[in-house]
């Protein structure tokens, strides 16, 4: 009886250990699912990521809906959420593969926050973002992907847009020339159409080299920007792919459809849209739906390109 009782006790202890191990495995799996849903490390090809636009802000009014969201598939990086914009950080090239946010008439008409010009590492990039020193002496501008003027409606938004994760090395007369023109035109469309969504990022083809001794930041050969107007009756989308160089061509020379930019970048934009609408908006651009400013084009050629 003594031996039998001892064997029973050993078996009970072993069963407890097995049950404990299974419980820990289940906890680990649940934690992994939780981390994925939270958007922690969304690395890996084809991972789908939800980008939530701000649910509310101090500058909202009845025209600012709270339930809007963007959905893209990440290609290289993992999701980083800031209060007023989101990005997918590409550690290999030390910059965002896309930045997503929206521009609205309400935000643009708000009292402007002071530009900080304080460039700092992004604390939310777990692998470490590029730094100010990576750009120092490189000859390239720290070019905003989410433009500072788009974030001027709020002090926190302005401060956050100067994180180095939102920067990409741009040729000076590109950043201050055609890229500036496109940014200003996009804000004009935000005023004109009440609210537009913006997705922008680098294109890593025909790159111009690498800067930074520590982080090795890729200098992209081109950039894309996509503008989506989904709020009004006339739903529309337009995209641009522009080489990272000075240009004397009009912006219309660089128009691309969303489908074309998806093919170039490998990123799936706006899959949350109803299928028929997504197909219609992404397949081609109706240029007549978008008003271009020839005055901005003349200023760029006569002044901005020469600085």
Residues with catalytic roles: 144
CA distance 302 to 284: 32
Nearest to 255 by CA among 278, 273, 274, 236: 236
- 117, two tokens: 């010009």
How many degrees, rounded to 5, is the angle at CA 11 between CA 9 and CA 13?
A: 70
Contact 130, 217 (CB under 8 A): yes
CB < 8 Å & 24+ apart, contacts of 252-260 = 252/287, 252/292, 255/285, 255/287, 256/224, 256/285, 257/282, 257/283, 257/284, 257/285, 258/226, 258/282, 259/283, 259/284
| φ/ψ (deg, to 5) at 147 | -65, 145
Number of Cβ within a 10 Å radius of residue 193: 21
CA distance 49 to 279: 20
Nearest to 238 by CA among 250, 249, 247, 229: 229
- 122, two tokens: 């992004």
CA distance 241 to 232: 25
Q: What share of the chain is helix, strand, coil (3-state, %, to 5)?
A: 35, 25, 40
């Amino acid at each position: 009886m003594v031996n039998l009782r001892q064997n029973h006790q050993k078996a009970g202890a072993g069963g407890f250990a097995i049950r404990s191990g299974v419980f820990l495995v289940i906890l680990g799996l649940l934690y992994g699912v939780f981390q994925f849903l939270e958007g922690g490390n969304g690395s890996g090809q084809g991972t789908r990521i939800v980008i939530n636009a701000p649910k509310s802000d101090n500058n909202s009014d009845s025209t600012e809906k709270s339930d809007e969201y963007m959905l893209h598939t990440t290609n290289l990086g993992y999701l980083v959420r800031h209060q007023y914009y989101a990005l997918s950080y590409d550690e290999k090239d030390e910059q965002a593969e896309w930045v997503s946010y929206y521009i609205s008439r309400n935000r643009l008409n708000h009292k402007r926050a002071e530009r900080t010009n304080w460039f700092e590492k992004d604390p939310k990039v777990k692998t470490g973002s590029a730094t100010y020193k990576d750009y120092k002496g490189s000859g390239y501008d720290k070019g905003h992907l989410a433009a500072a003027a788009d974030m001027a409606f709020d002090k926190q938004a302005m401060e956050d847009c100067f994180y180095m994760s939102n920067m990409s090395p741009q040729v000076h007369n590109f950043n201050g020339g055609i890229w500036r023109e496109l940014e200003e035109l996009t804000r004009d469309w935000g005023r004109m159409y009440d609210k537009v969504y913006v997705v922008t990022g680098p294109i890593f083809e025909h790159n111009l080299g690498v800067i930074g001794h520590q982080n090795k930041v890729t200098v992209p050969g081109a950039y894309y920007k996509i503008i989506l107007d989904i709020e009004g009756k006339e739903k529309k989308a337009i995209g641009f792919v522009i080489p990272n160089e000075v240009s004397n061509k009009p912006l219309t020379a660089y128009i691309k459809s969303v489908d074309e930019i998806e093919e170039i970048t490998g990123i799936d934009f706006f899959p949350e849209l109803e299928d028929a609408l997504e197909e219609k908006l992404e397949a081609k651009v109706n240029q007549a739906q978008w008003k271009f400013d020839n005055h901005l084009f003349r200023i760029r050629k006569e002044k901005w390109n020469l600085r």
